[in-house]
Amino acid sequence: MIRNLIYLVCFSFFLSCNVEQDQYLYKVNFKNTSNTPFHLLVLGDTLNRSEPANDTLINVLLNKGEISPYFSYKSHFFEGFKYELTYVKVQFTNENKGYVCTKSTPSSDLCFMTKSSPIYSTGEVFIGNDKIYSYEITQEDYENAHVLP
């Protein structure tokens, strides 16, 4: 009888344990792997306000091989940029070509056509490992860029 009581107590203890999933620190950025420098402007809302703002998150010129500042967050799994990005503009400096992606028009005619928009991407277009990932702007992106208004 005592043995059954001990088994019941142990069984109840194991059922009541809550195993938490590990959270990992992810770092995400933009990287220029094209041969042409570009200006990168990223707007969004990192505070998750009820009315999303268009705060300037990144405003930088990236030369070949350079990376933008990182976005960092903790999560159980990789979630792309995770933050509430609302606008991404890549404009190559040698001519008026590039990309404009917005949250309000995800399939914009000026956004990337050969890969997912950085605003909505969660995995397949990111390159990286060890919890550090880059959304790469490639030479192919330069060659396929839209003429900007």
Output the pTM of the full model: 0.78
**Dist. CA 111–CA 93, nearest whole Å:** 17
List of residues 6+ apart from 70 with CB closer than 8 A = 27, 28, 29, 132
**Is residue 75 predicted with pLDDT exceeding 90?**
no
Name the β-bridge partners of 128.
Answer: 133
**Is residue 69 predicted with pLDDT exceeding 90?**
yes
Domain coordinates in residue numbering, the chain: 18-147
pLDDT at 67: 96
Which single residue is written with the structure tokens 């043995």? Answer: 3
**Is residue 107 predicted with pLDDT exceeding 70?**
no
83 compared with 59, residue with greater pLDDT? 59
107 compared with 36, residue with greater pLDDT? 36
pLDDT at 9: 53
148 compared with 117, residue with greater pLDDT? 148
